[in-house]
């Protein structure tokens, strides 16, 4: 398998007002007050971020994308997503915190409850690659600063992710900000997450 993401007929969930889809990239301007989060710790639910996804029944694949972001307000974020429904989804991104740090992390939401795993990185980082891989109902997310050397961020299970799924990209600004997010080098390939023992 070796296909361009944009050739696989991606569809919007909550299409943003300002977006340009080119032959090999996507540019979008986020809208303030948009986010994905369910219940845990904060007690609230935010379910209004735009997501651009393709559907697949393929059980073994990897999706790679480069993100570039001009984030500048707290919680600004863009990255990869698998939005099955409001109670079951995954996202990974760099989330802006302040002039010093950002949080490179991921959220897994199963049955209406989100978690959040992060590591702090410098606020000067303005691009990040992601590789999202599937092995049946188990998943792996990796990141890279150069698109060559990927590091594992987490392995996780989706309770409702064993059959047909959707996956793609997202961007949002949970606070009062808005920024430009650019996605390029979007490619779906054979699974690059090796099985245990390989």
Where do the structural domains in the chain lie, given as residue ranges?
2-189
Calculate mean pLDDT across residues 86-95.
Answer: 97
In the structure, what pLDDT confidence band is assigned to residue 81 with cuts at 50, 70 and 90? very high
Residue 105's pLDDT is 97
C-alpha–C-alpha distance, residues 30 and 23, integer Å: 21
2-189 CATH pick, 1.10.10.10, 3.40.50.300, 3.10.20.30, 2.60.120.200: 2.60.120.200
196: pLDDT strictly greater than 80: no
Total-model pTM: 0.96
Do residues 58 and 191 lie in contact, with contact meaning Cβ atoms separated by under 8 Å? no
Per-residue pLDDT band for 197 (boundaries 50, 70, 90) equals low
Answer yes or no: is pLDDT of 198 > 80. no
Tell me what the mean pLDDT of segment 124-143 comes to: 98
Q: Which of 9-13, 43-47, 95-99, 134-138 has the lowest mean pLDDT?
A: 43-47
Average pLDDT over residues 158-174: 96
pLDDT at site 1: 80
Cα separation, 13 vs 84, whole angstroms: 11
Listed range (40-49, 118-127, 140-149) with the worst mean pLDDT: 40-49
Q: Whole-number mean pLDDT of the chain?
A: 96
Distance (Å, whole) CA 150 – CA 160: 27
The owner of tokens 């309770």 is 159
Query: What is 147-177 written as a DSSP string?
Result: SSS-EEEEEEE-TT-SSSEEEEEEEEBSSS-
């Amino acid at each position: 398998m070796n296909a361009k993401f944009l050739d696989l007929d991606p569809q919007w969930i909550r299409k943003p007002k300002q977006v340009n889809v080119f032959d090999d990239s996507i540019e979008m301007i986020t809208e303030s007050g948009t986010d994905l989060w369910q219940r845990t710790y904060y007690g609230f639910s935010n379910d209004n971020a735009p997501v651009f996804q393709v559907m697949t029944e393929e059980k073994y694949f990897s999706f790679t994308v480069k993100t570039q972001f001009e984030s500048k307000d707290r919680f600004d974020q863009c990255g990869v997503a698998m939005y099955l429904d409001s109670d079951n989804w995954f996202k990974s991104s760099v989330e802006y915190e302040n002039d010093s740090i950002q949080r490179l992390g991921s959220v897994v939401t199963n049955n209406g409850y989100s978690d959040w795993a992060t590591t702090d990185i410098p606020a000067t980082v303005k691009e990040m690659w992601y590789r999202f891989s599937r092995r049946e109902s188990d998943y792996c997310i990796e990141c890279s600063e150069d698109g060559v050397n990927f590091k594992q961020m987490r392995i996780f299970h989706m309770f409702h992710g064993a059959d047909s799924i959707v996956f793609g990209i997202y961007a949002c600004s949970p606070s009062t900000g808005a920024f430009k997010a650019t996605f390029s080098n979007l490619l779906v390939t054979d699974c690059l997450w090796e099985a245990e023992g390989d």
